[in-house]
Amino acid sequence: MIRFSGRLACGAAIAALVATTALAQEGRAATRGIILGGQNQGGPAVVQTPAPAPSPKAPDAFSQAFPQTVSEPVVQGSLRISAPLVQSWTVAQARQLVAVIEGIGTEGLDPKDYDLQPLKTALAAGPSQELNELASQSFIWLVEDLRDGRTPMDAREQWFVVDPDREANPSGNVLADALQSGDIAGTLAKLAPTHPDYAKLKAELAATSDGQTSKRKLIRANMDRWRWLGRDLGSQYLITNVPEFQLRLTVKNRIISTYRTIVGKPGRTATPQLAEVVEGVVFNPTWTVPQSIVKGEGLGAKVLANPAWGKRNGYVATKGANGYVTVVQQPGPDNSLGLMKLEMPNEHAIFFHDTPSRHLFANDDRALSHGCVRTERALELAMTMAILGKGATRDEAVGISTSGKYTKVALQKPWAAYITYFTMASDINGQMATFKDIYGRDTKVLASLDKPRVRNRSAVPTDEVIVIEDDLRDS
């Protein structure tokens, strides 16, 4: 088993893997059809099966790990927050809070959202129940916006990420910690996203003059998008920025490798924004042809009528007792999923995969798919995931990939995978850049910045779940 120690070793291993991938590709023709047997002795188990039939929807591992939480208690009486969240504030603590609100613009938020003037008036009168209520409610609103994002859910188009931060840092606990420690600003600062890009956007905002209104709003919108995600994305993960058409394999916030991507076309096949878990790597995958082609275009009838033609083209058709026809494309160089796919169970049927139409990665505009994310150098990515996830050694990964046989490698250490949508972010060279809003998702987010802050807002996505039926045909 190959083991990595530290970031440099990991980077060197990936470089070596690129060469290994090339070797595997060169040997594919010679080794196609060889069945693995007994070569995995002493190593992790891999599973070889014939073409799998469609299975019931698997549980969402990310959602299981971070279950959806309910919103804060509804307001009671004249209070804007529930009575249990009201705490006693000293004058010194309330002064700290006022200072935080006055400077909150550095975080891309607006002081007027937090009842600054009424709070200052109450503070001038000294300790009182009114000061306790106003300070507690303003603090809670800051927690909600810094932890979860200011943008209401109905302005987050096709956003389906379950943010774990509400459960990890309940508002009441954060308030109690701040008052107990006396460090109001420091407690709130701990809610900020840890990803380096958030700090870069914050620096960009500080360097942008007040007169550059449109740019400042764009920066603020994309800072807020980071707050929609979990504060800490984990030690190793995949993250793709859809408008950038790039995928990053990241370990300890260091980019190990990048891959060009092809994403969904605008409209109903646009790629949604997700946080899921990659549980396994499928080498030499099969592809279950959607019914829009099987029935709608007559492929099923054609393969049933001429099995020899179907076999030459890699298709196997099955007709059930009820007359339902399924067609499965077998593994091979012309398979529509290419040489690999990453197992990432989710209700949208979105996953990362290879493609035989690799020439499309040369296009500047790569919004061409029916929702799934196709990746450049996909075999390299698959082998990297299998090795780093400790599902296979390097030699095993080479043997599996060149076998020509459907093989699923389960990962001992699942990888988080984030499909995001940033129109201002660091590019793959680390430089701040803007990206075309290919799906028009900025419009509602930018508009929400001009509207009053939404109070007692839901944390539940409001958009329709569109199950992707990826016919994988290119434009």
Sequential DSSP letters for 282-347: EES--EE--HHHHTTS-HHHHHHH-HHHHHHTTEEEEE-TTS-EEEEEPSSTT-TTTTEEEE---T
In three-state secondary structure terms, 54 is coil
Q: Which of 140, 190, 120, 88 has its CA nearest to residue 455? A: 140
Q: Which of 392, 413, 406 has its CA nearest to residue 341? A: 406
- Percent of the chain beyond pLDDT 90? 72
pLDDT digits (tens, 9 = 90+) for 210-240: 999 999 999 999 999 999 999 999 999 999 9
Is residue 336 within 8 Å of residue 287, measured between CB atoms? yes
How far are the Cα atoms of 131, 211, 342, 473 from residue 52, in angstroms, in the given order? 64, 59, 15, 21
Q: What pLDDT does 146 receive?
A: 98
Q: What pLDDT does 164 receive?
A: 94
For CA atoms 439, 444, 450, 453, the dihedral sign is negative
Checking if the pLDDT of 11 tops 50, the result is no
Q: What pLDDT does 60 receive?
A: 37
Q: Which of 473, 440, 266, 219 has its CA nearest to residue 365? A: 266
Spatial separation of the C-alpha atoms in residues 114 and 139, rounded to whole Å: 8
Spatial separation of the C-alpha atoms in residues 406 and 22, rounded to whole Å: 20
pLDDT digits (tens, 9 = 90+) for 23-42: 444 444 333 332 222 333 33
Q: What pLDDT does 393 receive?
A: 94
Q: What pLDDT does 17 receive?
A: 52
Is residue 239 within 8 Å of residue 420, measured between CB atoms? yes
In three-state secondary structure terms, 414 is strand
In three-state secondary structure terms, 44 is coil
Checking if the pLDDT of 471 tops 60, the result is no
Q: Which of 11-15, 82-86, 199-203, 230-234 has the lowest mean pLDDT?
A: 11-15
Q: What pLDDT does 35 receive?
A: 26
Spatial separation of the C-alpha atoms in residues 290 and 468, rounded to whole Å: 10
- Percent of the chain beyond pLDDT 70? 81
Q: What is the mean pLDDT of residues 289-306?
A: 89
Checking if the pLDDT of 461 tops 80, the result is yes
Give residue 472's pLDDT band: very low, low, confident or very high (50, 70, 90). Answer: low
In three-state secondary structure terms, 437 is coil
Residues 6+ apart with CB under 8 A from 161: 228, 229, 273, 274, 275, 418
Q: Could you tell me which residue, 462 or 196, shows the higher pLDDT?
A: 196
Q: What is the mean pLDDT of residues 234-249?
A: 97
- Strands (E) across 389-429 are located at 407-420, 424-426
Checking if the pLDDT of 58 tops 90, the result is no
Spatial separation of the C-alpha atoms in residues 375 and 355, rounded to whole Å: 8
Q: What pLDDT does 317 receive?
A: 93
Q: What is the mean pLDDT of residues 63-74?
A: 34
Which residue has tokens 């990659």? 278
Checking if the pLDDT of 474 tops 70, the result is no
**H or E element in which residue 7 lies:** helix 6-26
Q: Which of 94-98, 197-201, 466-470 has the lowest mean pLDDT?
A: 466-470
Q: For residue 220, what are its two tokens?
A: 């603020």
**H or E element in which residue 373 lies:** strand 373-375
Q: Which of 33-37, 271-275, 343-347 has the lowest mean pLDDT?
A: 33-37
**H or E element in which residue 255 lies:** strand 254-264
Q: Any idea what DSSP says for residue 159?
A: B
pLDDT digits (tens, 9 = 90+) for 116-149: 999 999 999 999 999 999 999 999 999 999 999 9
Q: What is the mean pLDDT of residues 201-209?
A: 98
Give residue 458's pLDDT band: very low, low, confident or very high (50, 70, 90). Answer: confident
Region of residue 269 (left: phi > 0; alpha: psi -120 to 50; beta: else): alpha
Q: What is the mean pLDDT of residues 76-91?
A: 69
In three-state secondary structure terms, 1 is coil
Checking if the pLDDT of 44 tops 70, the result is no
In three-state secondary structure terms, 66 is coil
Q: What is the mean pLDDT of residues 52-61?
A: 39
